[in-house]
A and B are shown apart, each in its own frame.
Chain A
Amino acid sequence: MGAQDWSNTEDAALAAAIGDASQEALAEVYNRHSGAVHGLARRILRDETLAEEITQEVFLRLWNNPNKFDAQRGSLRSFLLAHTHGRSVDLIRSESARRTREDNDARLATGAGQNIEDEVWSTALADQVREALSALGEGERRAIELAYFGGHTYREVADLLGEPEGTVKSRIRSGMKRLRQSLTAAGVTQA
């Protein structure tokens, strides 16, 4: 239980230490990723209180079920953000939160738009990500924006855009694949 400096430890090793009940390891993971988790939850939910609830839940779940994270299946960051996204979307699809969100939507309508390219600056890789986004077709980009930030199902996206469901469904998939190709070519993700 001696003081260990975790700041140079890789995420996967931190996750393993959390499995051994190291609170310091959890604190380090929290230091690294709580801003991204909280920022994503707040972006989707447009509500600070709910975003804090989700942030709390995401890190408590990591503590209580550290084995759900499998380093073979991706990075800790994407694991935490995927959980954040899933739970945030669950919440906005629940009826009680929907009203608040619609109110907030109306309030924010004149503020920051849904433009995904404005949103992306979270990492030092922002330029490459922005470039990859610009390589997408407009339809692909809109569909991904509405699904990822809007928390809409692809059927709802199809409604919103007035396009066939099948088209939207395949655009989301092809868009994500194309993004990955661009990012891999730029050396951001691995092939």
Chain B
Amino acid sequence: MKVEELLGAYALDALDEDERLLVDRHLSTCDSCREEVRDHREVAALLAPPPIPPPDRVWGRILAGIAVAAPADELAPVVPLRRRERRFESTRWLAGAAAAVAVVALGVTVVVQSGRIGSLDDQVTAQQQEIAAFQADPLRQAATAALEDPNARIADLTAEDTEARMQIVLLPDGTGYVFENTMTPLPDEATYQLWALVDDRIISAGVLGNDPGVVPFHLDPAGVQGLVVTEEVAGGVAQSESDPVVAWFEA
């Protein structure tokens, strides 16, 4: 059999795994066959069915997935001029929310401290430290504010036979945060991924990165019966076949 005969079926994902690998190998060295596959795929794209715009929540989850990899210091609202690393822009929507929370929290701090007996200098120093702390980790502040929300649902995900655990807070509007956790960091090519059990179905709630700190995600809290974290390849998967690392189920 000639490999070329398989190219049409290959372009339509209609080969068994062994034949697909065979073609993959061949394509790495054959320009004309690569070209043929490209042509088939252009034609296939024209056969695609009518577009169906996805609901807004899909874009929300993509944004959450993008924000995951941003180190917390990139979220600081007062330092927009530093480095041009990937993913900075994407976190602006989060930084704005976090900054708003920080301002509210600082207002409270000022009131409490002004009632204290002490020198003005002490108060200023303390406030500066508070400000520095907020600016250093606004995401944590946003998550803390969520944790204190009386309407928040808080889930403690645990493991049966390890010490790993993870605390998750979920607000009625679907804003969620992975909070404290004791998960073992994974190699770069792996990630933790959060799943929700909703109406007896498992849906992905976000990719958490290989060493999750405070991580935002979006999940409609309606009907959530459980939360599970698995270990997956970096980037995450649409459907998991991995065992849970930690899990929580509604009593």
Contact = CB atoms under 8 A, between A and B. Distances in A.
B38 A56 contact: no
A74 interface: yes
A169 B51 contact: no
Contact of A35 (B40, B52, B87): B52
A61 B51 contact: no
A59 B204 contact: no
A35 B5 contact: no
Contacts of B46: 120, 122-123, 125, 129, 183, 188-189
B8 A175 contact: yes
Given A82-B41, A96-B239, A52 B12 contact: no
B9 A169 contact: yes
A147 B47 contact: no
A74 B41 contact: yes
A34 B54 contact: yes
| Interface size class, chain B | 35 or more
A15 interface: no
A75 B16 contact: no
A91 interface: yes
B238 A39 contact: no
A43 interface: yes
B58 A39 contact: no
Contacts of A173: 5-9, 40
Interface string A124-155: 01000100000000000000100111011111
- Tell which of B5, B15, B59 has the most Cβ of chain A within 10 Å: B59
Interface stretch (B60-68, B112-120, B171-179, B181-189): B60-68
Interface in A74-106: 74-75, 77-79, 81-82, 85-87, 89, 91, 94, 96-97
Given A1-B89, A23-B89, A151-B13, A73 B34 contact: yes
Contacts of A96: 239
Interface of A: 1, 21-24, 26-27, 30, 34-40, 42-43, 49-57, 59-61, 63-65, 73-75, 77-79, 81-82, 85-87, 89, 91, 94, 96-97, 116, 119-123, 125, 129, 144, 147-149, 151-155, 157, 169-170, 172-177, 179-180, 183, 188-189
Q: Which 10 A-B pairs have the closest CB atoms?
A: A173-B8, A35-B51, A78-B45, A147-B14, A39-B52, A172-B8, A38-B54, A21-B86, A53-B238, A23-B90
